[in-house]
Structure 1
């Protein structure tokens, strides 16, 4: 089985252009492909995870990845899948976020001479002359076709800014530029990016002729990845300072029964034969599959030692022998306690277990919070300094989310 067939078997490929050419290039290690990452935060999250794993798989098969940092396109903002306009970031914010992305990507992809490349589209987009761009590129795009694109669909009802309308042209120009300068012959991205990506393929063919072999593959990345990228209103980050290895492990350990084998197939590097043997697992065996998923992905992102620590901490928690030191922890100060105690709603928000006091109120009223070994049954419950002694205050949200609050 070639790598292209393996991607198909893992359920990763959604749509392609020029399938036979793509199959030949990918299976023979001749693809130079890019995936773009806009720098909208200072960490990648699990919504990017599938793309990083894909780049690793293809590099292992001899293909050359280009990790394209969107220093330029982030200045505009991708409207895909958005109900409103993205927050405008400063150039300094974008540059900082780009540096954070680079460090995280190096855990997955091998960069260097003759290996993977890391480029930043600010290097060419920021220098474009607007009139020249309109003449060279704008003439290749039909506004009618652009307005039918899926990436603009949601925004048309609520209002699409002219700034965002240009995003497709910028993304298309990226592929056109890299095709000519670094031999990039293929682009990968999420299924919701299909219209944007086709724009790049068509731009190359219109400008350079129909024999210009520029190809596009979209994956079930963003539709599934963005679903994976957020939980309980909070992003699951790859940065251990934003999402601890334990929290990362627990996120994957708690995936739904219907999704666990899909995630193992799409995201882990376990052999397909081993995964196929799990197809009829149920009950306790399905929980074992979730443990395998959580361990394998935590190992990929945080290393084997952290994955093992997270696994042991999780087993201790659910076996009744919790090691509080391995739990995600929030440090409180005297200012947090004010007059000597902290209300449960403020505590939940301060620990990041709820996004707002309103959410915290509903959770307490529904019986979803336990502190120590007692269920919290009142929104007026408060906790004083003396209750933070020893290992601190152990908070449980629902059945599976544990958190520790300590007083420093």
Structure 2
């Protein structure tokens, strides 16, 4: 059986490690308790967090015990970022986001069995923390010169950084120390942008208790041009279906770049690496079929939203582009898909020419008429031959929608004004 650390390395999930051979020995010696933390700086986890929680899941499947930390206290401050000081959210907002994120993480790890997961909140040990004790017991272990040398701090020195954000590393390091003392935690994982915080926690445990603990960081997920993956034109890739529909989430992965899809399959799915190699070989033979992208989208939508939503997203995508029955789509699924594609409300007497322009599928009425006359316009997947054909003549779909399509790939949704 492949050692879990070898599998993580083979999947490209270990960018940094404090001592990878010592970590291998610890993981081989028996079940270890490890943790990964999430600050409630938004009402939902996002795709960057997903990589962390799935990495925690891999370790749990290998027999180790996860602690999932939701930062009720660190979320009140916010990890410093290079672009400038964070806006602080109210205590009530952060508390609400803690509850939301706690509910989200419970879907990804098991809470039963010998290596059951535990959700912890760092507000439990910092909420009543005495300032003098904190400075004496924790602050004394942090040389200021080393704190100033951290990349995110040094980049903010000229523009300014508050003491609040400057001291964030002390609070996150305290989490490791407390979890080590309370739960015997000996491993922390996180993203590579958190590497300074992870190593600071390891060092605090060594200085305060004299114990050796471990940390490793996953790489930042990037696009082919090296920019950070996780942002779309419409915003962040959220895991909450109220912030990003399962259909939109599914489409994000369908659009994965050819040069990156194999990497995403290895890092985000639980497919065997040999199966991923086979998918990529098939892709090399017929890239237009986008077989690995479709498998990636199905696997991840199932993991995050469930098999039913993954199937609905696939069905919706197929139907929108003329390969399925639009009338079978539930209203919520159709609305989510069309909202992602683009929608417009048109007058009750609007023609297909009017609607094509209103939806932005063409730039002008002349282009719309030409599209229709050349056989490239469809209402509800039925070809339209008359540029003046009323939109109202097309049967209404669930929710009162009409689906317009130009050619094979350009789709939009139309509703008639009351």
- Range class of TM-score, shorter chain: 0.7 to 0.9
8 Å CA contact 1:40–1:74 kept in 2: the answer is: yes
Structure showing greater radius of gyration is: 2
Q: Deviations over 1:54-94 (max 9, x none)?
A: 111111111011110011001111114x4122231111111
Task: Give the whole-Å Cα distance in 2 for the aligned partners of 1:24 and 1:63.
Answer: 14
Q: Deviations over 1:73-121 (max 9, x none)?
A: 01111114x4122231111111111111122212211125751110001
Closer/same/farther in 2, CA of residues 127 and 226 from structure 1, 3 Å limit: farther
Partner in structure 2 of residue 284 of structure 1: 286
Partner in structure 1 of residue 124 of structure 2: 123
Partner in structure 2 of residue 13 of structure 1: 14
Q: Which has the higher contact order (CA 8 A, sep 6+)?
A: 1
Q: Determine whether 1:262 maps to 2:263.
A: yes
Unaligned runs of 5+ in 2: 379-389
8 Å CA contact 1:45–1:235 kept in 2: the answer is: yes
Closer/same/farther in 2, CA of residues 364 and 239 from structure 1, 3 Å limit: farther
Closer/same/farther in 2, CA of residues 290 and 155 from structure 1, 3 Å limit: same
Partner in structure 2 of residue 378 of structure 1: none
Describe the SS at the equivalent of 2:55: helix
Closer/same/farther in 2, CA of residues 160 and 395 from structure 1, 3 Å limit: farther
8 Å CA contact 2:377–2:406 kept in 1: the answer is: no
Partner in structure 1 of residue 107 of structure 2: 107
8 Å CA contact 2:46–2:239 kept in 1: the answer is: yes
Q: Deviations over 1:321-349 (max 9, x none)?
A: 46273334489xxxx979999x99xx99x
Partner in structure 2 of residue 143 of structure 1: 144
Task: Give the whole-Å Cα distance in 2 for the aligned partners of 1:36 and 1:308.
Answer: 31
Q: Deviations over 1:112-137 (max 9, x none)?
A: 57511100011112221112211111
Task: Give the whole-Å Cα distance in 2 for the aligned partners of 1:373 and 1:141.
Answer: 66
Describe the SS at the equivalent of 1:23: helix
Partner in structure 1 of residue 252 of structure 2: 251
Task: Give the whole-Å Cα distance in 2 for the aligned partners of 1:397 and 1:88.
Answer: 46
Describe the SS at the equivalent of 1:252: helix
Closer/same/farther in 2, CA of residues 216 and 322 from structure 1, 3 Å limit: same
Describe the SS at the equivalent of 1:155: coil
Task: Give the whole-Å Cα distance in 1 for the aligned partners of 2:150 and 2:16.
Answer: 15
Closer/same/farther in 2, CA of residues 47 and 399 from structure 1, 3 Å limit: farther
Partner in structure 1 of residue 238 of structure 2: 237
Partner in structure 2 of residue 214 of structure 1: 213
Which residue, 314, 321, 327 being the options, matches 2:334? 327
Closer/same/farther in 2, CA of residues 222 and 228 from structure 1, 3 Å limit: closer
Task: Give the whole-Å Cα distance in 2 for the aligned partners of 1:196 and 1:36.
Answer: 11
Partner in structure 1 of residue 319 of structure 2: 316
Q: CA RMSD in A?
A: 3.6
Partner in structure 1 of residue 164 of structure 2: 163
Task: Give the whole-Å Cα distance in 2 for the aligned partners of 1:36 and 1:293.
Answer: 26
Partner in structure 2 of residue 22 of structure 1: 23
Closer/same/farther in 2, CA of residues 398 and 72 from structure 1, 3 Å limit: farther
- TM-score under structure 2 normalisation? 0.79
Aligned residues: 374
Cα distance, 1:52 vs structure 2: 1.3
Describe the SS at the equivalent of 1:160: coil
Partner in structure 2 of residue 37 of structure 1: 38
Which residue, 370, 393, 396 being the options, matches 1:390? 396
Closer/same/farther in 2, CA of residues 251 and 18 from structure 1, 3 Å limit: same
Task: Give the whole-Å Cα distance in 2 for the aligned partners of 1:208 and 1:189.
Answer: 22
Closer/same/farther in 2, CA of residues 34 and 8 from structure 1, 3 Å limit: same
Cα distance, 1:195 vs structure 2: 0.8
8 Å CA contact 1:327–1:403 kept in 2: the answer is: no
- TM-score under structure 1 normalisation? 0.81
Describe the SS at the equivalent of 1:156: coil
